[in-house]
Amino acid sequence: MIPPDGPRAQRQLLARWCDKFSEAGDGFIFGLRTQESLRVHLGFAVAVVAVAAGLQVEAWRWALLMLCIAAVVASELFNSAIEQLVRTLHPQRAPAIAAVLHMAAAAVLVNAAAAVVVGLVVLGPPLLDWISAKLLP
């Protein structure tokens, strides 16, 4: 569908996109307020960013770290959304529903484990160089 032209149509399009970003922000804030796991992941993300900044790592290292942080946070948000939806629509416990929730949690675990490995590979060498420089002047 081709959007109509003109200033009014452009303002309406901009307003719709602003609403979408606002709703996404609301979802993120809701996640922060209600999901302990999301806060834990973000705490580790802040620590990784602080270490990377302190080490003044190269741009490619930043890119990999940011991709990993985004993947873990996004998977945690998806997992939390699935949990919220399932528990709202089906509050009673059922084995099939439990399996779905466990698979969503496993997706977060896989992303988090991969992020740890990437973090070690990406930050390990500059961190060892920094430690060596401090211990062996």
Number of domains in the chain: 1
Examine residue 85 and state whether it is found in any structural domain, yes or no: yes
What pLDDT is recorded for position 74?
98
Examine residue 26 and state whether it is found in any structural domain, yes or no: no
Question: Does residue 1 register a pLDDT over 70?
Answer: no
Contact 79, 40 (CB under 8 A): no
* Relative orientation angle of helices 36-55 and 59-89, to the nearest 10 degrees: 180
What pLDDT is recorded for position 5?
78
CATH code, domain with 100 = 1.10.287
CA dist list (Å): 18 to 23, 31, 108:
9, 20, 29
Examine residue 10 and state whether it is found in any structural domain, yes or no: no
Question: Does residue 137 register a pLDDT over 80?
Answer: no
Examine residue 101 and state whether it is found in any structural domain, yes or no: yes
User: What are the pLDDT digits (tens) for 39-75?
Assistant: 999 999 999 999 999 999 999 999 999 999 999 999 9
User: What are the pLDDT digits (tens) for 78-126?
Assistant: 999 999 999 999 989 899 999 999 999 999 999 999 999 999 999 999 9
CA dist list (Å): 50 to 24, 46, 70, 75:
26, 6, 16, 22
pTM of the model: 0.88
Region at 136 (left for phi over 0; alpha for psi -120 to 50; beta for the rest): beta
Examine residue 69 and state whether it is found in any structural domain, yes or no: yes
Examine residue 20 and state whether it is found in any structural domain, yes or no: no
